[in-house]
Structure formats: C-alpha cells, structure tokens
Amino acid sequence: MPSVPPTQQAFLALSGISKRYAGVRALEGVDFACERGKIHAVLGENGAGKSTLIKIIAGVVQPDAGTMRLAGNEVSFASPSAANAAGVVCIFQELSLMPDLSVADNISIASPPRRFGLIDARAQRRRAEALLAEIGCEDVNPLMRARDLPLSRRQIVEIAKALGKKPQLLILDEATSALTSADVEKVYAMLARLKSEGVAILYISHRMHEVEALADRASVFRNGRHIETFDKGMRSTADIVQLMIGRDIATQYPPKPARKAGRPMLALENLSWEGRLDRISLRIGAGQIVGLGGLDGQGQKSLLLALFGVLRGVSGRVMVEDREVRAGSPAAAKAVGIALVPEDRKTEGLMLPMSIADNLAIASLGAISTGPFVDSAKEDAAVKRAIARLQIKIGAPTDPVSTLSGGNQQKVVLAKWLMTDPRIILLNDPTRGIDVGTKQELYRLMRELADQGAAILFYSTDYDELIGCCDRVAIMYDGRIVRELEGSELTETNIIASALNIDATADGGVAHA
Amino acid sequence: MLDDVAIKVRQNVGIVTAVLLFSILYVLYNLAHPRGFSSAVLVQNGNEIFALAMVAMAQTVPVLASGLDLSVGAVMTMVGCFASYLLTGAAAGAPLHLDIFGLHLALGTFPGGITGILLGIVLCLAIGTAAGFINGCVVVYGRIQPIIATLATGAVYIGIALFLRPTPGGKIDEDLNWALTNSLGDFAATVHIFDDGAAGWFAPIAWIPVPFVLIVLIALLVWVPFRRSVLGRAVYAVGSAEGAAYMSGLPIDRAKIAAFTLAGFFAGCGGLFLAIQTSSGNADIPQAGAYTLNSIASVVIGGTSLLGGTGSAIGSIFGAMVLRVISFFFRIFDIAPLLQPLFEGLILLAAVSIGALGVLRVKNTLELFR
C-alpha cells in the first residue's frame, strides 16, 4: 500500500492504539500521525472507528493499548481538560455548549478573564467579540443565551470557544454539518489561517467535496483499522469509496421474495420539518421492507419521529392506505396502526425497572383490559404468546427487563409493538449493539411480518444489513432523499456514493447540490 | 446598547416579574395600611421577611445546579438553637453550658462583650456552612440524589436542634436583639456609633430597617461575588448541561459542594436572625418544614427554573417578599388566615405557568422528556 511514512516532524503520532467497548472492537492497532500546518482529513463509513480515534486523542476515552506522542513526548490524557491544557482541542459533533449560559460565558467557560479573582464580564465580552470576529461572525451578540441561537450559530460559537483555547492541534468532528454555506466559507478561511500559523488540523467530515476542497492529506479507516493515508490528489473519489468499503462478515439474510406490487400502505408527500426534513416523498407497499440509508444525522431519525407523531410543525401529507393521517402524538400514531422501535431502547423503548411482562403489555393495554382494569389472565396469555413468538430468552416474565441482554431487550421492544398488530412498522437502527445471532432472528422476523402484509421502514447505519434485508433503500442526505436503490442497483458502492452525495461511477466527479 | 438591554430583560423576565409584582403589592399594602409608608411598618415587615429571604437564597443555589435542598429549614432551625446558647450575652468567663434531659454539661467558657457576640455569630454561621458542606459531600461523594440526601440530613439537623432545645428556651443578648431588629438609627444608638445615631448626615437614612440593610449586604458581599466567580458559573453550567460542563473541563464536584455549602451559609443567616428576633431557640419542626416549602415557592416565583441553569438568588429574595406581602394583606384586611394557603397556591400556580410557556415552542416533543 502506498502509505506516507510518518515523518520526523509529526506533531501527533499514535502507534498501536486499540480500544474495545464491551468486547466490541472499535479500534485495532492503529498507527496514525499528523503534522503541523496541514489539514488532515479522516475518512470512513459509519462505525469505522473515526469517532473513537478522536475521542482518544481528545482525552474523552482512554485507549486499551498503544501510545500517543505529542511533539515527541509520550502523553496520555485523562480528561478533555488535560488534552486542552496540552493544546489539543476538539470541536465535537454533539455540542458542548451550556444552553442557559450566554455566548460570552460559553466561549470563556474554562478559563475566563478575571479581575480581583472574579470573572471580568466586560473583558469576557470583548474576548467573545474578538473571537467571533476572527471567524467573521460579528453578528452573534455575546449576551445572547446559547439556547436562543439557531443551531448554525451555536456551531459558530462552538468553533469560537475552541479557537479561544489557542489550539496546537484542532480537531473538527463534523463541525460544519449544521453551518450555512456562507458560514462554511468563513470557517474555511479561518482554517486556512490557522494552518498557515502552523496549527495541526484533523478534519472529520462525511462531505467529500469539503474534504476535497480543504484537506492536504487524508486517512481512510475501516472496521477500526487504519487502511491508508495519502496526499491530496493521489486518489480519486471512486478509489476512496472503494477503500472505505470492504467487509469480512457474511451474515445470512432471509431470501427476498420475488417483487410483487402490493397495495400501497404508506405514502409520504413533501414531508418537511424545521429545515431538517426537506420535501420527502416515499411510498411503501404492503409486504415491503424499505430501508433508510445514508450517513448518520441526515434526517433519517427525524423522518421516523415525524411519522410517529413526535414532531410538531411537520408539513406535507402522510397517507395510510389512501387515507390522509395526521398523527399529533405517538398515541395517535398507534391508533392508526403505526409502531416505532425507537433509537435508544434504554430510555425510549423500555421502562427498565419494570418487569418484562409489564413492558410487553404496555402498548396494548386496551386489548387486554376489561373496562378500566387490566385483565391479568388475558395479559398473561398475550405475554406468553409474544415471548414464544420472538423466542425471547427470559427467566420469568416478572423479572425486571433490565436483567435481559441487549438483544433480548430489543426483542421485548419489538414484541411490545407486535402485540398492537401494527400495519406500519418503523425501525430505528434496531440491530445496533446486539449480537449476530439475534440480528439474524430479527431479520427473519422482519421478513415474516412483511409477508403477513405489514409495511416496514427500516433505518440502519449498517449498509450490509440494508442490502441484505430491504426490497428498496432510500438514501438520505441533508434532509432529502437523494436516491432510491432497488434490485441490482442495491450495492455497497452505490449506497456509499449516494450517501456521500457523489457520483462514484463518473470517476471522481463530484455532484453536490 | 438598546439591544443589550432588551436581551438582558428578556433573559431575566422572571426576576423582573417578581420585582414588579412585589412593588405593586407592597405599595397597595402600604396604601391600605393605617400607618402605611412609616418606618415602624417597614421595620416590622423587614423582620418578618428576613428569615424567609435567607432560606430562599439558600434554596436557590442548589436549585441552580438542578438539585433541591430539603434541609434548608432544618439548618435554619438548628443554627437558631445553637444561637440561643452562643449569643446569650453572658459576661466574660461565664460557663457555656448545655442543658439536656436534666443534665448540665459545661463546655468551657466564652469571652464576653462584643468579642463574645461576634465570636458567637461567626460560630453560628460556621455551623450552618458546615451543615451545607456535609450535604454537598453526601450528594457528590455518596452519589445520592439531592432531594433524598437532604431529606435525611435535614432530619439529622432537626434531631440535633431537638437535642439542644427539647423545649423552646435559651436567651439572646438583648442589645443584639434590639440593634438588629429595628431601624438603622436604633442600631447606631445601641452600638454607640455616629454620635449614637444623632449625626446630621445619618438622619436621612436612620429610618431604614436593619434587616433590609442586612439582606442587601449579604446579597452584595456574598451572592454577587459568588455568581461572578468561576465556581459560581460552574454551578450554573452544571444545572444547564452537566455533560457539556464536564466536557468543558469544569470542576463539577466542587461546584455542587459549593452550591450546598453556600445554601448552608444562607440558611444559617436565616436561623441566626430568627433566634435573635425571637430571643430564643426553638426546635420547631412544622416551622422548619414550612420554611423549606416556602423557600421552594420563593425560588420559583423569583424566576429560577427548578430544572437548574437559570435564575438568581436576588430573584428569590423578591419571591420571598411576594409570598410574605400576601400574608401581610390578610392581616390588614382581616381575612380568615385559613384562606392564606389558597391564595399563596394560586399565586404560585400563576408564576409557574409563566415559566411553562416555553413548552409551546418545542418542536420535537421527545425533548420535553429530557
């Protein structure tokens, strides 16, 4: 592999870094280096280990093995503040602003200017103004609370906050994802200036055109391993996509039935919400499994929440079996036969301290009640059926659901909704963090439900899974559906290319609208 | 500049509302009072407001860090009981003793005069502060939710108070009582400063009640510097978003301990004054409970969010004053005191409803549960 060898002047050098989370490999023997005065892009698909890498560099998590050198000295950061003290500053994807504090407070939160031991509000304000001016965003009033700013401005504040820490190594993790295009230009100019001042910059972005415009060098990660590092212009976009693909696990998927033209079950027309969903139109027939693909955070989760009645102010039409539906709450969505397996099963899917039986019955209490009282005989029977149907491995139905393994917990969430006999099943990354065996059971179950006439909308961050399970996959980018892939088009190359919103077939040509 | 003012007003709408509400109510009260707008009425009101204002400030600090302190009333009561031993004004060399269950425990001697009084005050405030510090440590190092941790420690503090004063009793130096519970003029006359309060320049301010001066002094000398310290801001940051505060490298544990410690100090101020005002120590359990609940009400009326992160102890002082003024009205209009909780409840509901309006703007209803 034509790798660039780590040079003498490497500012940050990692060697043999490994990290596991609960036995799952996140990083494996990673060697990585970056230099002063260079913008270094880190590329990889979901779960490639990019996030773990920067969390280790920024002191958020500690590696299980390996060493990290900064300017030649071995370092290990116990906390983000220790990393900051060494000049390593990270702008995280999840914003680190305190919503109730003012912009000026937030920017100077760690080491505010002081006078007689107390925070000097005026100096702090001048500092905030100066830093915002450095980015070219003087329009943000430092007195405003972070809470009252739109997301794009909050991200600017986040950048100003990082800038104020005088970074030697600046890490941007998707730090421009919420910015307006005018602001992106300003941030580029700022990065160019920092680069000329000799700051080392690590740039994580899913936007290939940003990487092409900015980066001097790029490293590709896959499955927790560092695959290759190359200088600008040495690889075409198509090459990069190829480097990002490549999987070694072969999971068994249930066979897809020959395509049939089932009656339309769910139809969306021009669904929009708060700039996060942009005129989404999609049709799902009865008996179909439609995947939602794309990079994290392109609106897939919002789309599922919108359909489930969680979001307010959604415009556009939702038709269920040719009848327009306006679900204003999850209860209303349930009433028209929609079920959602939510993103976080521990907080949104389950009531952890309650029993397995209680959790299973909670969404279908109406069906097992006589008058206002839950009929315990009916409940027991229904719970028993659900446990048998999904082959949930439990001790007793009265055990707290928290005692189950992740895979069995997820089965409980799904079983809970199957007890309501839904016509439309929305799945938000249901196989995240569960073992392969249970995954295969879930795939089988999904197909079985589809065969019985349900329409399934399945968001997954795992492309392999989308290809294996879905009849059709809609790829989202920036709140829009950019492409629907079906049949032979449903390949990993196509999914990744569409997810990055580039046209990989046209050899590196970048199509970004 | 006008923009900045507008922003400040919008961000402090809770406090502004409390100040306006208090001003209107208090002017109406004085208009209706036969001796309204007189120093005597002000002095009486000041004495009635002080302890609640202190306990309300005490409650504010943990609430800002998104924790409730259910022990503020208990700390107040306990410090009051200590004060009834430490501030008796006994002559130098007189034995300091505790009378418990018929036992007569001598605890050494205590200096007399002003030194003795000042030492007693410092000790009382130190006891309150220590109680708050213990609360903070239990919450932070015991990893116990504040509400239950302070419920338990509060019971302990009440237990100590009962131990000290099984029945109301003890005494407080009479001069101290007189000096602190009247007007500035009386204070000067008692401690013999400013020609016993007769100095010409002093006359225009001699009518101001001492309790109000004390509230202002404590707010300016303790609360304002704390709010502008790094630790004070960390308290706000913890209440606003604890994860983000951690990621920003703030001292989270120290901030929480500081919040409870400061609460103990303020509650101690309240207890000290209550003892001085009533000239006795009284381990009154219902009163401790009532003060705790009223402190929470004051905090909310004063515009501090129970979720933490926004608000100010200054607002809580006005919240406490609003609550008290309502009870003043009952006195002058001769309304059955039994109706008082009803009206206090209605006012509290109205104040809380204003704070809840923001819910209507939330676009992702899942956020309501986070």
Q: What are A161-194's pLDDT values in tens digits? A: 999 999 999 999 877 766 777 788 888 899 999 9
Residues 6+ apart with CB under 8 A from A22: none
Residue A141 with chain B: CB contacts under 8 Å: 3-4, 7
Q: How far apart are CA A400 and CA A352, in angstroms?
A: 7
Pick the range with the lowest mean pLDDT from A90-99, A270-279, B123-132, B354-363. B354-363
B215 has a pLDDT exceeding 90: yes
Query: What average pLDDT does chain A have?
Result: 86
How confident is the model over B33-37, as a mean pLDDT? Answer: 87
What is the predicted pLDDT for the residue at A96?
A: 80
- CATH at residue A51: 3.40.50.300
Same domain, residue pair A60 and A116: yes
Pick the range with the lowest mean pLDDT from A5-19, B50-64, B158-172, B343-357. B343-357
Contact A388, A381 (CB under 8 A): no
What is the predicted pLDDT for the residue at B142?
A: 94
Is B249 close to A80, i.e. CB distance below 8 A?
yes
Full domain range(s) for residue A427: 251-337+422-513
A347 has a pLDDT exceeding 60: yes
Pick the range with the lowest mean pLDDT from A2-6, A444-448, B83-87. A2-6
Structure tokens at B233: 């801001």
Q: How far apart are CA A135 and CA A148, in angstroms?
A: 20
How far, CA to CA in Å, does B35 sit from each of A229, B38, B169? 86, 6, 33
Same domain, residue pair A78 and A212: yes
Instruction: Look at A260 and B39; give whichever has higher pLDDT.
Output: B39
Residues 6+ apart with CB under 8 A from B168: B280, B281, B282, B283, B284
| Domain-ending residue, one of A211, A245, A279 | A245
How confident is the model over B94-120, as a mean pLDDT? Answer: 74
Same domain, residue pair A390 and A450: no
Under the banding of pLDDT at 50, 70 and 90, the label for residue A512 is very low
From chain A, which residues contact B within 8 Å (Cβ)?
A: 60, 79-81, 84, 92, 95-102, 105, 109-110, 112, 114, 117-119, 121, 141, 143-145, 273-274, 302, 305, 310-313, 329, 348
- Tens digit of each residue's pLDDT (9 = 90 or more) over B136-160: 999 999 999 999 999 999 999 999 9
B289 has a pLDDT exceeding 80: yes
With both helix axes pointing from N to C terminus, report the angle between B72-86 and B39-64 in degrees, rounded to the nearest 10: 130
Residue A504 in any domain: the answer is: yes
Q: How far apart are CA B347 and CA B368, in angstroms?
A: 25
Same domain, residue pair A279 and A360: no
The DSSP output letter for A119 is E
How many structural domains are present in chain A?
3
A293 has a pLDDT exceeding 60: yes
Is A110 close to B250, i.e. CB distance below 8 A?
yes
A301 has a pLDDT exceeding 60: yes
For A120, which residue in chain B has the nearest alpha carbon? B228
Residue A299 in any domain: the answer is: yes
Same domain, residue pair A179 and A272: no
Closest CB to B228 among A102, A119, A302: A119
Q: Does B225 touch chain A (CB under 8 A)?
A: yes
Same domain, residue pair A47 and A170: yes
What is the predicted pLDDT for the residue at A40?
A: 94
- Tens digit of each residue's pLDDT (9 = 90 or more) over A48-77: 788 889 889 998 889 999 999 998 889 989
Pick the range with the lowest mean pLDDT from A151-165, A241-255, B13-27, B342-356. A241-255
Residue A2 in any domain: the answer is: no
Residue A5 in any domain: the answer is: no
What is the predicted pLDDT for the residue at A503?
A: 66
Same domain, residue pair A263 and A389: no
| Domain-ending residue, one of A370, A395, A421 | A421
- Give the highest mean pLDDT range of A174-183, A260-269, B296-305, B331-340: B296-305
Residue A1 in any domain: the answer is: no
How confident is the model over A468-473, as a mean pLDDT? Answer: 92
Same domain, residue pair A398 and A440: no
Residue A479 in any domain: the answer is: yes
Is B245 close to A79, i.e. CB distance below 8 A?
no
Closest by Cα among A404, A283, A285 to A345: A404
Residue A84 with chain B: CB contacts under 8 Å: 249
What is the predicted pLDDT for the residue at B282?
A: 93
Element (H, E) at A15: strand A10-21
Residue A311 in any domain: the answer is: yes
Residue A112 with chain B: CB contacts under 8 Å: 230, 233
Same domain, residue pair A490 and A454: yes
pTM, 2 dp: 0.77
How confident is the model over B186-196, as a mean pLDDT? Answer: 85
Residue A342 in any domain: the answer is: no
A216 has a pLDDT exceeding 80: yes
How confident is the model over A218-245, as a mean pLDDT? Answer: 84
What is the predicted pLDDT for the residue at A513?
A: 37
Q: Does B27 touch chain A (CB under 8 A)?
A: no
| Domain-ending residue, one of A421, A443, A476 | A421
What is the predicted pLDDT for the residue at A20?
A: 83
What is the predicted pLDDT for the residue at A13?
A: 92
What is the predicted pLDDT for the residue at A52?
A: 86
A95: exposed, middle or buried (Cβ count in 10 Å: 0-12, 13-18, 19+): buried
Contact A219, A35 (CB under 8 A): no
Under the banding of pLDDT at 50, 70 and 90, the label for residue B1 is low
What is the predicted pLDDT for the residue at B195?
A: 81
Contact B329, B26 (CB under 8 A): no
Q: How far apart are CA A153 and CA A146, in angstroms?
A: 9
How confident is the model over A81-109, as a mean pLDDT? Answer: 87
Element (H, E) at A229: strand A225-231
Same domain, residue pair A170 and A302: no
Closest CB to A109 among B8, B250, B363: B250
Is B248 close to A80, i.e. CB distance below 8 A?
yes
Instruction: Look at A222 and B98; give whichever has higher pLDDT.
Output: A222
Same domain, residue pair A298 and A388: no
Same domain, residue pair A298 and A355: no
Type of residue found at A396: A
A494 has a pLDDT exceeding 60: yes
Specify the 3-state DSSP secondary structure of A296. coil
| A107: closest CA of chain B, how far (Å) | 10
Residues in chain A: 513
Is A96 close to B248, i.e. CB distance below 8 A?
yes
